[in-house]
Amino acid sequence: MKKILAILILLFFISALNINAQGNNLTAQQKEWLKAANRHDKNGWIYLHIEGSAPERGFQHGYLLAKDIKETLRILKYKWEYQTAVSWDLYVNKGSELFEGKIDGEDLAEIDGIVTGMAAAGITTSRNEIIALNGYMELMWYWWPTVKDQFSSNSPEPRKESCSSFIATGSMTADGKIVLAHNSMTDYTDSFCNVILDILPEKGHRILMQSYTGFIHSGTDFFITDAGLVGSETTIGDFIAFDPKGVPEFSRMRHATQYANNIDEWCDMMKKDNNGGYANSWLLGDINTNEIARLELGLKHIGFEKKKDGYFTGSNIAEDVKLLRLETKSDDTNIKYSKIARRVRWHNLLNKYAGKVTLNLAEQFEADHFDTYLNLNKPSDRTLCAHMDLDPQYYTSGSPFYPGGTVDGKAVDAKMAKNMSLAARFGSACGTPFIVKKYLEKNPQFGWLAPILRDRPSQPWTIFKAGELK
């Protein structure tokens, strides 16, 4: 025991020496850049403040999250190579081929800064790898399905992220002002979407958003800006269009969020050179005008509505009829399926609580376990707070007990948005813990995921604010 303890102490000091050596190798300019940045951990989240020019912001991000980004890349590489039997290099090179020449110059400089920052922290990556990381949704969910049969007839169809979101205003809310809430539904291996990213850029608007380690955009897409904009999205299910000649969604989203002054400007920037990748129903609000909007951004077909009274919801089913019929394969009536069951539940809840919606209720909605197909309270793939890991999938063709579901909850009202703050809960939106050992004992068919699954303990709702310190 003493020998083991001595070895552990030695390893600790070696690690500390390595950290000090890396810090000593920083230039005077890099040290100044890092003084403006801030990273701290809280209730499962990483809070990261970055500011300045694109190279500065990227360096701060890469340096302070170097180990976290390395782990994210390890997880994605493991999943990619197991599920496709295709090399990671092919994935990375394809990302560069599809996206590099179309990325906004400022965004590319921030990506390069991430690479430089990681190198300064002793971890090597490349511009191509960070581009491919940022384009993860578009590559895995939109490009890969168009080519996968050329590589393998037995490569599973990639699972797209699902989300449950609503935005309400006017007579729907208790104070007549905007309330927005959202949760992300994805694989439990996607444990790296736990970043609250506070960006104070040299130009444009300040942004506070949920993000992934190494992303210059959101990915899960829940954001606030100091222009008074708030936004979320839900992925449009069964979407079938993709134009590799267009500008990647991640670059358009970041540019729009940083530079748009109002809802219309934001939507115009997103529509310009749209590639159809990561096709989403965007729920948007402007706390200055009390307007809310839903932008359903397909490839050739776009749905758009805006109003000052009422609500919009998102549950992964397109509402615009042309987009639904011409660019998706969705059945919009089968309540056995998650997206339809959750759409029904949203309408039930919002009609029941019309005129009473508050931030607190929004948090409760995101943790809701009512299954509208079974007509009972039972967590499943069909509930707003989804639990695929608890669902035997008796009624659909999904994989029983798949390790996925709701991985967070976020909510904001107009008062919080004005102060650049939000409420967030990491892990299940209802607080139910996920323990890997217990899960795999019951579901050994998913044993291949053991190296990349992590425990998700119950976490509390937590308030974050732009500019907060440790």
pLDDT tens, position by position, 20-37: 445 569 999 999 999 999
Q: Which of 4-13, 216-225, 250-259, 409-418 has the lowest mean pLDDT?
A: 4-13
% pLDDT > 70, the chain:
95
Longest dimension (CA), the chain: 70
- Residue 125 token pair: 């990556």
pLDDT at res. 100: 97
DSSP 142: I
- Residue 212 token pair: 């992934």
- pLDDT greater than 50 at residue 296: yes
- pLDDT greater than 50 at residue 13: no
pLDDT in tens, 393-425: 999 988 999 999 999 999 999 999 999 999 999
The confidence band for 158, taking pLDDT boundaries of 50, 70 and 90, is: confident
- Alpha-carbon distance of 335 to 330, in angstroms, equals 12
pLDDT at res. 6: 47
Contact yes or no for 165/184 (Cβ under 8 A): no
- Alpha-carbon distance of 109 to 132, in angstroms, equals 15
Amino acid occupying residue 214: G
What's the rounded mean pLDDT across residues 326-340?
Answer: 96
The rounded mean pLDDT for the chain is 94
Contact yes or no for 411/425 (Cβ under 8 A): no
- pLDDT greater than 70 at residue 241: yes
- Strand, coil or helix: 60: helix
- Alpha-carbon distance of 388 to 393, in angstroms, equals 8
Amino acid occupying residue 266: W
pLDDT in tens, 345-402: 999 999 999 999 999 999 999 999 999 999 999 999 999 999 999 999 999 988 999 9
pLDDT at res. 23: 59
- Residue 303 token pair: 């749905």
pLDDT at res. 249: 98
In 3D, which of 74, 92, 82, 76 has the Cα closest to residue 155?
A: 82
Taken in order 307, 308, 310, 311, the sign of the CA dihedral is positive
DSSP secondary structure letters along 11-29: HHHHHHHHHHHHHHTS-HH
- Alpha-carbon distance of 67 to 52, in angstroms, equals 23
Whole-prediction pTM value? 0.94
pLDDT in tens, 419-470: 999 999 999 999 999 999 999 999 999 999 999 999 999 999 999 999 999 7
Q: Which of 99-113, 137-151, 335-349 has the lowest mean pLDDT?
A: 137-151
Strands (E) across 30-159 are located at: 38-42, 45-52
- Strand, coil or helix: 135: coil
pLDDT at res. 31: 98
What's the rounded mean pLDDT across residues 166-173?
Answer: 98
State the residue for tokens 């070895």: 7
DSSP 102: G
- Residue 138 token pair: 């578009």
What's the rounded mean pLDDT across residues 236-260?
Answer: 96
Domains, the chain, with CATH or none = 162-240+250-465 (3.60.60.20)
pLDDT at res. 397: 85
- pLDDT greater than 50 at residue 118: yes
Contact yes or no for 275/241 (Cβ under 8 A): no
> 244, exposed or middle or buried, with CB in 10 Å at 0-12, 13-18, 19+?
middle
pLDDT at res. 157: 73
pLDDT at res. 111: 98
The confidence band for 19, taking pLDDT boundaries of 50, 70 and 90, is: very low
CA distances from 434 to 144, 189, 403, 405 (A): 30, 11, 9, 11
pLDDT in tens, 77-113: 999 999 999 999 999 999 999 999 999 999 999 999 9
